[in-house]
Amino acid sequence: MKIRMANDDDRDGICKLADEINMEHFNHMPRYFAKPKADRSDWWYWQSTFQKEDRFMLVCIMDETVVGFVSASIVDTPDLPFLVSMKRCLIGTIVVASHYQRKGIASQLVARVCEVAKEKGAIDLGLEVMDFNRGAREFYRKLGFGCFSERLSKSLD
C-alpha cells in the first residue's frame, strides 16, 4: 500500500471511487444528491482539489490501482470578533473502495492528512459526515473526532 499526492494519472480511479460514494449519497438523500453519471464528467471538480495551492488530495494505491482517496483544504478562520483565529484543515471527501474497507486504509489516509495539514500550518482538522452514515461517524469518533456542530435541514415544499 502506498499513499501519495494525487495527479492527473489517477483520473479513472478517483472518478470511479467518487461515483461509488456519490451513489451512496444519492440512494440515501436523492433530494440533495444527484445520481452519478459514471462518465467521468466530474473530473474537473476532483482535479481542482489538488491543483489549487490551498487544497490537496491523497490517493491510496494497491496493485497499481487507486483504492481510496481523501480531498482536503486548508482554510483560515474568518477574521470575526467572536472566533479564535486559526488555520484549519477540512476534509472534503474520503472514500475507500467497498471491497477494501476495514483494512486500515481510511485510518492511514486520515493520518497522512494530519501530517500534510501540520506541514501547511493547520492546528485543527474538521469534516462533515452525513447523518445516515453511522459507520463513518463511529469510525471518526474512534479516531478522536468529536461533534463540533450539527447541520440541520428542513424542506420548504
What separation, in Å, do the N-terminal and C-terminal C-alpha atoms of the chain show? Answer: 48
pLDDT at 79 over 90: no
Q: Give the largest CA-CA distance in the chain.
A: 50
- 78: confidence class by pLDDT, cuts 50, 70, 90: confident
pLDDT at 110 over 90: yes
CB neighbour burial string for 77-87, b if at least 16 within 10 angstroms, e if fewer: eeeeeeeeeee
Amino acid residing at 5: M
Burial of 115 (0-12, 13-18, 19+ CB in 10 A): exposed
- Please provide the CATH number assigned to the domain covering 2-6+50-142: 3.40.630.30
Could you tell me the pTM of the whole model? 0.92
Q: Per-residue pLDDT tens for 11-57?
A: 999 999 999 999 999 999 999 999 998 888 899 999 988 888 899 99
The domain locations on the chain are: 2-6+50-142
